[in-house]
Structure 1
Amino acid sequence: MTNYAVFLRGINVGGINLKMADLRTALETLPVTGVKTLLASGNFVCATGASDVELKGLVEACLRENFGYDAWVVVIDRARLAALIDACPYPSDNVKEHSYVTLASSAAVLDDLEALGRELDGVALTRLAPEALAWLAPAGGTLESPFSKLTAKAKYKSTTTTRNLRTLLKVRDAMA
C-alpha cells in the first residue's frame, strides 16, 4: 500500500461545489483506505495498492460520475510530496509574500508554463521537480498576480493545480 495525496482542480470555485462529506462517501467506492479530506479546496489523502496513474484515473472517473463535472486531479505519493516541500526555497509563513506550488500531471505542460512565467516581470519561479513549480505572490494579491492569471488559463486546467505551501505542509502532515 502506498500513501498518496490527491489534489482536485477547481473545487469550490467557479460553481463546482463539493461537500467534503459527500466527497468521502464517493471515494469509499474506490479501492482505497484511510481517506481523509483536508480543507474545503479538495485535497485528500489515502492509501492504495494502485499506482499513481491508476489512482488518478479512478478518482477522476469517480468525481465525474458522482458529481457530474470534468474532474482533473494531480496525485503525488507521500515521499515525493515531502521532497517537493523540502526543495521549496520559499518560506511558508512570510507575511508579505505567499509561497505557492503549481503541481502538474504533465512535465511538458509545466515546461510551457514555466517558460511563459519567466517572461513575466518580477515573478520569482523555482522548478522543484518535473511535476512542481514554486512561485511567490504578494499577500492579498495572489489572484491578481501575473503568474496566477497565467496558471488559470483553460489550457492548463486538465493537468495542473496550485496550492499554497502551507496547504502542502498540512497535507503532508495528514499522511504521517
Structure 2
Amino acid sequence: MKYCAFLRGVNVKGTNMKMADVCQVFKEAGMKEVVSILASGNIIFSSDKKADELKKILEKAMSDHFSYEAFLFIKSQGETETFWNSNPFTKNEDLHIYAFVGNPGVDNMLMQEFDNAAKTENEKAQIVNDIFYWQVPKGNTLDSTFGKILGKKSLKDQFTSRNINTFEKILKKF
C-alpha cells in the first residue's frame, strides 16, 4: 500500500535534516519506493504493514538516527487525497489554508482552541471529514492567537499541519 508520512517539526527551530537522509532512514527501516516532497518532511513510500505499526517503526528509526524525539503521522494514499478533496475554503492569494494531520479526535480539540482564540479578519476554521482546516491571512500565521497555540510543546505529538498546496504536490507524486 502507498502511504505518506507527515513529519512534525522538521527543518524548523533547529531540527534540521536533509530529505535524502530521511529517505535513507525510511529505506533502512524497510520502506519501498521512498520519495520526499518539499523540505518540510513529507515522505511517500510503500509498505505491506498497517499505518499504526509503521508509525512506531518510523518514529523509532527517525529518533535513533537523528537523535531527536520524532513525531510523524501516516496516511494512506486515499486518506491523503481526502485532505485535498475536502478543503472547504476557496483559494485566495491573500490567504493561507492549512489542513491538520493528526491523532483521532485532534480536529475537535483544535476547533475548541480556535473557538477560544481571538481572530483576525478572514480567519476561519472548519472541520470536514474529521479534518481540521484553518484559513488565515498571509503574514498572520505565526502572529495569530491560534497560530501561537499551535506551537505549544504539549501538542507536538498530537498533529502537524500543512499548507493545502502541499497536498496537491504530494498527490501529483503518488
| Aligned-CA RMSD value | 1.3
| Aligned residue type for 1:36 | V
Which deviations, in whole Å up to 9, do the C-alpha atoms of 1:125-162 show, x marking residues without a partner? 111233x2001111122111222211111121112101
Q: How does 1:27-176 map to 2 (within 5 A)?
A: 27-91=26-90, 93-107=91-105, 109-122=106-119, 123-130=123-130, 132-175=131-174
SS of residue paired to 1:125: strand
| Aligned residue type for 2:11 | N
| Aligned residue type for 2:159 | T
Q: Which structure 2 segments of 5+ residues have no match?
A: none
SS of residue paired to 1:28: helix
Runs of 4+ in structure 1 over 4 Å off: none
Identical-pair percentage: 27
Contact preservation (8 Å) 1:74, 1:159: no
The 1-side partners of 2:128 and 2:60 are apart by: 29
| Aligned residue type for 1:124 | K
The 2-side partners of 1:96 and 1:146 are apart by: 19
Q: Which structure 1 segments of 5+ residues have no match?
A: none
Which deviations, in whole Å up to 9, do the C-alpha atoms of 1:14-34 show, x marking residues without a partner? 111001111111111122211
Number of equivalenced pairs: 171
TM-superposed deviation, 1:119: 2.1
The 2-side partners of 1:118 and 1:129 are apart by: 19
SS of residue paired to 1:36: strand
The 2-side partners of 1:151 and 1:106 are apart by: 17
